[in-house]
Amino acid sequence: MKIQFLDCEMLCWDNIEPPQGQIKHIIQIGIVEVNSEDLKISRSKSYYIRPKNKDFECSDYCSNLTGITRSKILDEGRYFPDAMNTIKKEFGPSSKITYAWGSDYEPIATHCSDYDCSNPWVTSGILDFGIIFRSAYNYKHKMPLIDALKSVGIQFEGRQHDAEWDARNLALLHNKMMMTIRKSML
């Protein structure tokens, strides 16, 4: 069986709320797939998403945080419905367990509604692994993924706030937790 890990990056601004005429929009989706038997990453992919508003702004704050620029979105991005169709075809998420760190399902569901396109996770949902992690390790408050990784002795790999790297690191956290559980059962 395959398990999936997902992360979304959104347009963002340093004062949180978008400037007039701008909206929060997904600009990158990262997916990592893991074989549940051996806990090895079998594949990963990043999709850049182009907003339908041609006047979208990718702020300096957003570019510095994510490494994503307006030109990257325009050059490599695809429209959201196309990305959803590709993800559905390549990853088949409706038949797999998918985890995210936080509530990444909400912006995907909102975008699917706004774009009137099929949601690949509508039947399976996307589970918040942060809740599972905090429960397993008895943490009372939300924490960034990097802090959760550090708490179990894992160094963050790659660039933070890159959707594919964030999904990959989430998979590493999941795998460490599963290995710990498996060892305790022996």
Q: pLDDT tens-digit profile of 137-146? A: 999 999 999 9
Mean pLDDT confidence for 170-177: 97
pLDDT value of position 183? 81
Residues in the chain: 186
How do residues 97-132 score in pLDDT, each as one tens digit?
Answer: 999 999 999 999 999 999 999 999 998 899 999 999
Give the orientation angle of helix 80-91 with respect to helix 105-115, to 10 degrees. 120
Q: pLDDT confidence of 148, banded at 50, 70, 90?
A: very high
Residue for token digits 């660039």? 159
**Topology at the third CATH level for domain 2-184:** Nucleotidyltransferase; domain 5 (3.30.420)
Tell me how far apart the alpha carbons of residues 22 and 56 are, in angstroms, rounded to a whole number. Answer: 6
DSSP label at residue 141: S
Q: pLDDT confidence of 34, banded at 50, 70, 90?
A: very high
Global pTM reads 0.95
Which of 11-20, 93-102, 175-184 has the highest mean predicted lDDT (pLDDT)? 93-102
Burial of 39 (0-12, 13-18, 19+ CB in 10 A): middle
Burial of 126 (0-12, 13-18, 19+ CB in 10 A): buried
Q: How far apart are the first and last CA of the chain?
A: 22
Phi, psi of 127 (to 5 degrees): -85, 140
pLDDT value of position 54? 87
**Contact between 87 and 29 (Cβ < 8 Å):** yes
pLDDT value of position 181? 84
